Each structure stands twice: as structure tokens, then as C-alpha cells.
């Protein structure tokens, strides 16, 4: 159910007083979880600093997309800013729901965001990807990393896993010795976003992709896709029973409890693993880039980005807030609140990197810069759901891996009208 948080602050700024303007009301749609919590806290800070009346509306992941899409389609203007998962950007931009930020940067005397942002963090904020105008600004620097228990891996004869073969070698031994209580690997196999998020880095590491280079053909059911699926099924076989229903929380719980040795996961779980009140594995989990298959490993990038809704009645005020919230100082504050950064200066800040809880920052910055975006298609949510249903069936064993690739190829071809 949608939860509303009203942050109403009655301090007028001198600029507003001078201009004789009414208070600016900024309404922000944010997801539940640490990403949304961080921006809600920033909105509170901004209100106290600027005297702007801010309302942050929080909703579960899927509901953020649905409510944002509805607001865009109806041009209601109910939201000024939406905090988006980056694969949603083509849908919102190509349906005219997002404001082109070019004119706002020019008014501020800038060509675009400054160069302290990581280049891959900026690339996802342009539509088309990396070439079009900016339609949002990066706020939360998510990209997947490989998490593993270094001591357990060493026991299994693998020091630092570089390839998926290394991971399988260690995981098979650990699961065999675990007696059904300890597993070498764990992954998200739940339908839709969960299983797709865990499969895509493996898919890419075997040279596979969902579309050909010019996006004129679906290319899921290929020899490269089959090689990736073979590894994915082998990882399932060394994972706990029931992973076909697992999401990120179940994976994080297994690692934190010390009942699984490795997985792909998102950086926001680092705080859980390093918290002695939530984890038995404090200081014991190592972080590395995604392992290689036949090609170098590549993380799925999953940035949360802020865009201005085109129907907003407070566009300049929204842009001003976004510029403030993504400044180096505020991105550092956001990092201290638990969100991974998007700026080089914050990733390399000695005050942060000297702390044990931020020891993963060099790996995460490398992972972002080597990351791959999910296919930039306006129908991505529908594509992801269809692909994720077939993958999850394969994980559950109700269809064969070959059938999953074939049916995924057919489903995505129907959705995109590419045959």
C-alpha cells in the first residue's frame, strides 16, 4: 500500500521573498527501501535549508513505475520528480513523460552535469543511451558485485574467483561438504526482475545479448545464450532448494547468516553484511568484479536517477533541488546514509575509504565503470517480466533450459515486433 510522508516546512528563503514568489511545492515519487529513504532525508534537509515545501511519496518498486506512468499519461502534474530505476528511462522519455534538462543546464551556465560524475553513471541518464539529451541525474550508484566468503573459497581450493569455472569449482565442493545446511552459491530465481537481474551478468559474460547490435533482432536463443544458461543451471544445482522463489532479501539473508558462500548482489547489502546486529559474517565477505565466462564479466548497472516530470508545474524548483541533491557534498551525505555514490570524489574520499564499511568502494567504482545497462527499450518492464517468467520456470525445473531460451526468444519477439 502506498505510504505518504509529508515534509512541510515553513521557512521562507530570501530569494523567494525578494522575488515575491509563493513557496515552491516539490512532490517527489520515491521507492521503498534505502534508495527512497535517502532521498526523503535529503528532501527534509533541503526544506530546512531552503524553506521549500517538500512532499515525498513512497511506494514499492513496481508501484513507483505504475504511478509515475499513470501521472505521465494523464499529465496530472501530481509529481514533480520521480526517482527511477535506470531501465525505466526509455519508457518515460520516449512517451514524453520526462523533461529534457538541456535548457535548465544552459540557464545555469552549464553544458551538462560536471565531470566528477562517473561516465557510466551519466550515460544511463541520457536518452538515447550515452548520446541523447540528459533527461535525469544519477543519485544512487548501484551496480552488481560478486560477493564471496574468501576463507571458504580458499578451503575449496580457489583463492580469488576470476571466472565462472572458478566459482563452480569452489561452490560444488562447498555444497557437497555442506550436508544440506551450507551451500556454495545462492541466487535470485523469482519470476520477473529477480531472476533476470541475476542472469544478465552471466548472459553477458558468455558474449550473449538480448538484441543484435542495431536492435533489429532478438538474440536470446543462441549458442552464447545456451552457454550462459548451462552455467546458470549449474549454479542452481549448488544453491539451496527453492531458489526459484528467492529475491534479494533471501539471498542477502543466506550470506549474512553464513549459510551460503557466494552470490551476485547489489551494494546496498554491504551495510547488512558488515552490521554485527544483522550478520554473522562481519569482515569475512570479500567483494570482486563479476567473474568472466568466455568474455570479461560485466555488472548489470542499476542506478536510481531523478527526472522531472514533463507535467510538473514547478520545473525550475525541481531542477534546483536535483542539482543540490546530486552535488558532491550531498552525494557524500547520501553515501553516509547507506546509498552508493555516483561521483569519483566521493568514491575516493579518504574520510570514507579509511572506514571498514566502505572497503568495497574501489571494487564498486570499477564495477560501475565496467557495467552494462539493461536493454534500453521503452517496453523493458514487459520484456523483463516475460523473460523472467521463462527463466524462473527453468530454475524450478518445470521446463528445460532449451525450452526457456526458445520461449523467451518468442515472447520478446512478440513484445518488440522483431521476428
Q: How does pLDDT run across 118-134, given as a tens digit for each residue?
A: 999 999 999 999 999 99
Q: How far apart are CA 158 and CA 152, in angstroms?
A: 9
pLDDT one-digit tens code per residue, 187-224:
999 999 999 999 999 999 999 999 998 889 999 999 99
CB 372 within 8 A of CB 204: yes
To 10 degrees, what angle do helices 34-50 and 328-336 make? Answer: 130
What pLDDT is stored for residue 40 in this prediction? 96
- The DSSP annotation for 219-237 comes to --SSHHHHHHHHHHHHHHH
Confidence check: pLDDT of 9 > 50: no
Q: Is the pLDDT of residue 19 over 60?
A: no
Q: What is the pLDDT of residues 71-92, one digit of tens each?
A: 999 999 999 999 999 999 999 9
pLDDT above 70: residue 12: no
Does residue 55 surpass a pLDDT of 90? yes
Q: What is the DSSP string of 265-294?
A: E-GGGHHHHT-TTT-S-TTTEEEEPPPBSS
Contact 133, 122 (CB under 8 A): no
Of the listed ranges 19-33, 140-154, 191-205, 388-402, the one predicted with least confidence? 19-33
The strand pairing partners of 292, in sequence order, are 163
CA dihedral 392→394→397→403, nearest 10 degrees, is 140
pLDDT band at 165 (very low <50, low <70, confident <90, very high): very high
- State residue 2's pLDDT score: 33
pLDDT tens for 242-257 read 999 999 889 999 999 9
Q: Which residue has the higher pLDDT, 25 or 135?
A: 135
What domains does the chain contain, in order, with CATH numbers? 26-142+302-373 (3.40.190.10), 145-300+376-416 (3.40.190.10)
Assess whether pLDDT exceeds 70 at residue 15: no
How big is the CA angle at 268 (ends 385 and 232), to the nearest 5 degrees?
A: 45
DSSP codes joined into one string, 67-118: HHHHHHHHT----SEEEEEGGGHHHHHHTT-B---HHHHHHTT-SSS-TTB-
pLDDT band per the 50, 70, 90 thresholds, residue 6: very low
Q: How confident is the model at residue 363 (pLDDT cuts 50, 70, 90)?
A: very high
User: What pLDDT was estimated at residue 97?
Assistant: 98
Give the per-residue pLDDT at 235. 98
Percentage of the chain surpassing pLDDT 70? 94
For residue 410, pLDDT beyond 50: yes
Q: Residue 402 pLDDT > 50, yes or no?
A: yes
State mean pLDDT over 382-409.
98
End-to-end alpha carbon distance in the chain? 39
Checking if the pLDDT of 302 tops 90, the result is: yes
φ, ψ for residue 183, nearest 5 deg: -130, 145
Torsions phi, psi for 112 (to 5 deg): 170, -165
Position 33 scores a pLDDT of: 86
pLDDT at 327 over 60: yes
- The whole-number average pLDDT for the span 39-50 is 95
User: What pLDDT is recorded for position 24?
Assistant: 52
Q: Is the pLDDT of residue 22 over 50?
A: no
Q: Residue 337: which H helix or E strand, with range?
A: none
Share of the chain above pLDDT 90, in %: 89
Given this model, what pLDDT does residue 268 score? 87
Measured CA to CA, the distance from residue 89 to residue 87 in angstroms comes to 5
Phi/psi at 377 (5° precision): -135, 135
Q: Which pTM was predicted?
A: 0.90
Amino acid at each position: 500500500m502506498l505510504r505518504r510522508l509529508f515534509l512541510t516546512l515553513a521557512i521562507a528563503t530570501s530569494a523567494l521573498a525578494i522575488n515575491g514568489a509563493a513557496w515552491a511545492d516539490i512532490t517527489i515519487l520515491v521507492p521503498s527501501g534505502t534508495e527512497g529513504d535517502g532521498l526523503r532525508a535529503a528532501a527534509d534537509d533541503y526544506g530546512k535549508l531552503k524553506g521549500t515545501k517538500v512532499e515525498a511519496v513512497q511506494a514499492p518498486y513496481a508501484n513507483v513505475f505504475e504511478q509515475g506512468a499513470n501521472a505521465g499519461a494523464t499529465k496530472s502534474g501530481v509529481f514533480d520528480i520521480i526517482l527511477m530505476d535506470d531501465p525505466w528511462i526509455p519508457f518515460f522519455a520516449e512517451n514524453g513523460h520526462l523533461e529534457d534538462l538541456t535548457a535548465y543546464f544552459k540557464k545555469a551556465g552549464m553544458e551538462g552535469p560536471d565531470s566528477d560524475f562517473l561516465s557510466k553513471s551519466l550515460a544511463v541518464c541520457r536518452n538515447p543511451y550515452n548520446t541523447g539529451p540528459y533527461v535525469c541525474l544519477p543519485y544512487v550508484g548501484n551496480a552488481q558485485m560478486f560477493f564471496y566468503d574468501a576463507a571458504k573459497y580458499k578451503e575449496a581450493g580457489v583463492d580469488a574467483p576470476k571466472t565462472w569455472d572458478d566459482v563452480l569449482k569452489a561452490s560444488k565442493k562447498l555444497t557437497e561438504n555442506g550436508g544440506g545446511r551450507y551451500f556454495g552459491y545462492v541466487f535470485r530465481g523469482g519470476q520477473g526482475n529477480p531472476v533476470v537481474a541475476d542472469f544478465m551478468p552471466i548472459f553477458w559474460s558468455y558474449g550473449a545479448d538480448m538484441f543484435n547490435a542495431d536492435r533489429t533482432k532478438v538474440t536470446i536463443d543462441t549458442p552464447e545464450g545456451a552457454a550462459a544458461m548451462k552455467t546458470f543451471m549449474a549454479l542452481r544445482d549448488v544453491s539451496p532448494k527453492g531458489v526459484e522463489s528467492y529475491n534479494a532479501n533471501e539471498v542477502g539473508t543466506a550470506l549474512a547468516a553464513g549459510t551460503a558462500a557466494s552470490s551476485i548482489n547489489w551494494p546496498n547489502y554491504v551495510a547488512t553484511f558488515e552490521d554485527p546486529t544483522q550478520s554473522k559474517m562481519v569482515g569475512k565477505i570479500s567483494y570482486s568484479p563479476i567473474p568472466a565466462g568466455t568474455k570479461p564479466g560485466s555488472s548489470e548497472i542499476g542506478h536510481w536517477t531523478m527526472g522531472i516530470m514533463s507535467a510538473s508545474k514547478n520545473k525550475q524548483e525541481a531542477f534546483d533541488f536535483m542539482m543540490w541533491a546530486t552535488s558532491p557534498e550531498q552525494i557524500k551525505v547520501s553515501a553516509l546514509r547507506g546509498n552508493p555514490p555516483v561521483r569519483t570524489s566521493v568514491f575516493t574520499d579518504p574520510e570514507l575509504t579509511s572506514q571498514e564499511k566502505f572497503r568495497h568502494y574501489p571494487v564498486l567504482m570499477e564495477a560501475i565503470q565496467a557495467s552494462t545497462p539493461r536493454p534500453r527499450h521503452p517496453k523493458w518492464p514487459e520484456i523483463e517480466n516475460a523473460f523472467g517468467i521463462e527463466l524462473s520456470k527453468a530454475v524450478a525445473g518445470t521446463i528445460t533450459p532449451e525450452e526457456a531460451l526458445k520461449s523467451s526468444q518468442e515472447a520478446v519477439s512478440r513484445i518488440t515486433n522483431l521476428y
